[in-house]
Amino acid sequence: MTMKQTPSQTVGPYFAYGLTAQQYHYDHGQVAGSQLVRGEVQGERIRLTGKVYDGEGVAIDDAMIEIWQANAAGRFNHPLDQREGRPLDQGFLGFGRCGTGTRDDLSYEFNTVKPGAAQDGHAPFITLVVFLRGLLSHAYTRVYFEDEGSANDVDPVLNKVPAARRHTLIARRSETGTGVEYHFNIHMQGDKETVFFDV
């Protein structure tokens, strides 16, 4: 018997509704939400916020953002990360999902902690994945922090990105009445297109 290739489909918009069900007020469970912090945690609590824009500069209302990251000590909440000297944080999940369609301004928001550097010689970062209607595969990028300038300057991954494009990977810090916020907009196409990685 000869098997034929299964036709491809786009990755959305099911993901936002199906994988962030509680955000969209469905009564079935979900693996992860936008709250990565549960109780007391090590390090600095932050909010990561932003919008996803299409090539015309219009905010997208049915994208799903997925993030994963190290904790404040630079350790991942994963059984394969057994590094000594980097404590595991029981109050920190390290993985989250958020859709863009339930807020009036179509933004996403994660409550998390600022990660530590996961490797010597690397800057702290958050891995961010965009799931979106019309994409044949999800899009991977990284979120670096503007207040980590010296670490960013020597990060081997960030330094492979052309200097004129690196700003698309830098989240901007602000102090708000409710805490520290890093703002990171994602542009899928156009002159402001975010750098995405072929993972």
What confidence tens digit (pLDDT) does each residue in 2-16 have? Answer: 777 766 666 655 555
CATH code assigned to 14-187: 2.60.130.10
pLDDT-based confidence at residue 135 (cuts at 50, 70, 90)? confident
Per-residue pLDDT of 115-128, as tens digits, reads 999 999 999 999 99
> Could you report the per-residue pLDDT of 143-180, keeping only the tens digit for each?
999 999 999 999 999 999 999 999 999 999 999 999 99
Residue 68 has pLDDT above 90, yes or no: yes
The domain ranges of the chain are: 14-187
Global pTM?
0.88
ω before 124 within 30° of 0 (cis)?
no
Which residues does residue 108 pair with via DSSP β-bridges, in sequence order?
50
Residues 40, 92 contacting (CB under 8 angstroms)? no
172 secondary structure, DSSP code: E
Quick check: 83 pLDDT over 90? no
